[in-house]
Chain A
């Protein structure tokens, strides 16, 4: 059993990260003590604390950029099943049941299999990878995720040569997600990657962040993290991964193909029809910063798209 149930005080109380990062630089009036005290007293942030993960391997893929505060990453979420506002998921996902959980990996594979979260924790050593995460809406965060390359999971089921794409499906249950009625998107949420994208070492199967298991609003218990694509490609709370021959549907692409392409690689040169993608606002920063091609991972992933017109395949 890798997940240790902590008997002492929760991780979030040992490390009130909000104190470490100056999140409100432009409002110097904030008394840090007040902020810190509020973090500790707030019942919601207590309930959101995950279980501490065992020691994580360091990853060469990590950025050295300053991490976004835990508070920001857990209180500014796009998770439409739990409400369409940014602060909705932190409130509405608190009682999301993620145990027991089954992730089924199937389709064009030799050994289809259902995995429990405990199984997933043992497939490969858990690494800490500090990735940039860029939302299509023009904001970004830097998060220390915990997990391993998605390829490690896919190799377990032995994809057949017919497996050209990987389809992801996330959890959906109106009973647990009453807000989903108003999401305005077709659910369950589905996403897809080309097989070579899915097998790329940067594409990550993620079970934790900030050294803990994932909180519900960030995609507990297991999610995808594809750092060179817009955030919506990194589907949360995965229940099914299916290897398929044809390009699978992707939720935002179905909702509005004109605005959200299947590939959705971070690309400052291709604007969203309603806003520019040239810059982004890193949470905790005042000024917008330039957005980098492939979110700064061009050296690793640009070769996947050689010869492709990225304006056409946005």
Chain B
């Protein structure tokens, strides 16, 4: 079932659902008394969820033996980039209104914005090289190496969120633990593989 073209279409629509919901709320004027803040938080929340989901694909498909899940990794990653781009654009264009003075001021002084920017910039080359053509051009090994940048994104977005909240750190800690587990799994696998090799 996971191999069906229809499953892929269904997952695509599912990933798009938050955006449709946001558009609907905008259309009906249901964006809370502070619409810009609401859009920023909404798109940021979904970006971080998709980053976590993308990072979860590999461990989940190995642990529960569903190799076909790999078919959705690129799509989830691109949706993470999609929501992160909306998040970034909302801040840059609507909240700051392209005011370069304020934007540069934020970049130089505010660590949570720097963390967010690092997370976003790391996604950029991954989105650009997400096609089969680019895998071929770069070669699988180099491509894979490059795409480990997503680990930096995972850490950066959690730090971004943690530094941003005033006092209630429940959600940043939740996402932080998920990212820690998902990256920890990879570290454990790498160490284990090395040990097995050393023994052999």
Contacts and interface: CB of A to CB of B under 8 A. Distances in A.
Interface of A: 23-24, 26-27, 29-30, 34-35, 69, 71-72, 75-76, 80, 84, 86-87, 137, 139, 182-185, 255-256, 271, 273-276, 278-279, 281, 283-284, 286-288
Contacts of A24: 29, 31, 35
11 contacts: A23-B33, A27-B27, A27-B31, A72-B33, A80-B168, A84-B166, A184-B168, A276-B102, A279-B102, A287-B97, A288-B97
Considering the complex of A and B, which 8 residue pairs feature the smallest CB-CB distances, nearest first? A184-B167, A30-B29, A72-B33, A84-B168, A76-B33, A184-B168, A283-B33, A24-B29
A69 B110 CA distance: 32
Q: Is the interface of A mostly helix, strand, loop or mixed?
A: loop
A276 B34 contact: no
Interface string B129-156: 0000000000000000000000000000
B33 A274 contact: no
A26 B195 CA distance: 60
A281 B32 contact: no
A255 B164 contact: no
Given A29-B27, A281-B34, A281-B36, 4 more contacts: A30-B29, A34-B28, A72-B33, A183-B167
B106 interface: yes
Contact of A274 (B29, B110, B169, B170): B110
A284 B33 contact: yes
Nearest to A288: B97
Contact of B168 (A75, A182, A256): A182
Contact of B34 (A69, A76, A273): A76
Interface of B: 26-29, 31-37, 95, 97, 102, 105-106, 109-112, 163-164, 166-170
B29 A27 contact: yes
Given A27-B26, A35-B29, A276-B105, A86 B168 contact: no
A268 to B, nearest CB: 12
A275 B110 contact: yes
A185 B168 CA distance: 8
Given A30-B28, A34-B28, A287-B97, A274 B163 contact: yes
Contacts of B166: 84, 137, 184
Most B-side CB within 10 Å, residue of A35, A137, A284, A288: A288
Contacts of B27: 27, 29
Give the residue among B27, B29, B36, B106 with the most A Cβ atoms within 10 A.
Answer: B29
